[in-house]
Homo-oligomer: A and B are copies of this chain.
């Protein structure tokens, strides 16, 4: 990393659940910043935010806000990215976009550095940060793909409410209090803020994340399916997903079944690969009840993997349990990591 050099960095959506974590992560990583521009909607403009002890005033994001910006980290929703990311690029910035706006655009690399860092060289100004639930799964699958190839993936998710933003976290805690106190409450945010109906999340599980597509899948499920194929460069890989929201604040968990391209591989070999895998912490010791859980992953950048075992019938099949902080590796840390890669690979100079 060019530690001695600094960059002009803009963060768009600095007060959101992810934006906050981006600032914290830039600070923790000591990212080389020579100028920091914090942008937001007109509603949040004027608010003050601390970075390394210094107070910054949020400015309303406009096309001209990006003059001189070298790296722009967007996490203010898809419509903001669609409107302003091209404006930032036009002014010379490289955009790392945390929304779904450009993920499936064939001219936009979709990057998880542990998996396809080299795709950054193909950028046309915008780099897309994948969906949170996709990121942690591909990090866990990549060392396995490299060694043995991948034939099939079936995932069922256990996703935290913070993936739906600050309002969803507050709704979960509010409902929980109401239920404990025997008070009435009215669901208004989950499963999807903009959808027709809203359901209780406290002490419940909702099998809907994002709206439904015509084929009976949700957009979240289709994101996991399509993004996995794109990131791993396996357009033909069969991937299936069922995405479920839980009463957990932060930390997504995933029950992943996968088939490799080789018979006779032991679960110990898979564990060995994951132990050495970049960005992965292996937590797999059933005898001592060691396995990943969302409550343990909060605030950590790693992807935690455990419960690795051979399928009892399919000789090429395995099961594993993958947990990660959806706001960090699932969003803020992956974005900052992309920015670090851009510097390391001298794509931003």
Q: Which residue of B has the minimal Cβ distance to A180?
A: B177
Across the interface, A255 reaches (CB within 8 A) one of B244, B248, B293, namely B244
Give residues of chain A (240-255) contacting chain B, Cβ–Cβ below 8 Å: 240, 242, 244, 246-249, 253, 255
Q: Is the CB of A291 within 8 A of B321?
A: no
Q: Is the CB of B295 within 8 A of A200?
A: yes
* Copies of this chain in the oligomer: 2
Query: Does A173 make an interface contact (CB < 8 A)?
Result: yes
Q: Is the CB of A248 within 8 A of B204?
A: yes
Which residues on the B side are within 8 Å of A158 (C-beta)? 158, 205, 244, 246
Q: Is the CB of A225 within 8 A of B312?
A: yes
Query: Does A196 make an interface contact (CB < 8 A)?
Result: yes
Instruction: Say whether, besides A217-B309, A309-B216, A312-B225, A293 and B240 are in contact (CB < 8 Å).
Output: no
In the bound assembly, the distance between CA atoms of A239 and B96 in angstroms comes to 42
Q: Is the CB of B173 within 8 A of A205?
A: no
A113 to chain B, nearest CB (A): 27
Query: Does A183 make an interface contact (CB < 8 A)?
Result: no
Q: Is the CB of A216 within 8 A of B253?
A: no
Instruction: Say whether, besides A242-B319, A267-B216, A286-B212, A293 and B205 are in contact (CB < 8 Å).
Output: yes
Q: Is the CB of A204 within 8 A of B294?
A: yes
Q: Is the CB of A208 within 8 A of B291?
A: yes
Which residues on the B side are within 8 Å of A288 (C-beta)? 196-197
Query: Does A56 make an interface contact (CB < 8 A)?
Result: no
A182-216, CB under 8 A of B: which get 1 and which 0? 00000000010001110110011111100010011
In the bound assembly, the distance between CA atoms of A197 and B246 in angstroms comes to 23
Q: Is the CB of A255 within 8 A of B242?
A: yes
Q: Is the CB of A215 within 8 A of B309?
A: yes
In the bound assembly, the distance between CA atoms of A97 and B292 in angstroms comes to 35
In the bound assembly, the distance between CA atoms of A189 and B217 in angstroms comes to 37
A211 to chain B, nearest CB (A): 9
Q: Is the CB of B240 within 8 A of A319?
A: yes
Across the interface, A199 reaches (CB within 8 A) one of B207, B208, B293, B314, namely B293
Query: Does A130 make an interface contact (CB < 8 A)?
Result: no
CB pairs A–B below 8 angstroms (24 shown):
A154-B154, A156-B156, A158-B205, A180-B180, A196-B289, A197-B288, A199-B289, A199-B293, A199-B295, A200-B295, A203-B247, A203-B295, A204-B294, A212-B287, A212-B289, A215-B309, A215-B310, A215-B312, A216-B267, A216-B307, A238-B311, A240-B317, A242-B255, A247-B248
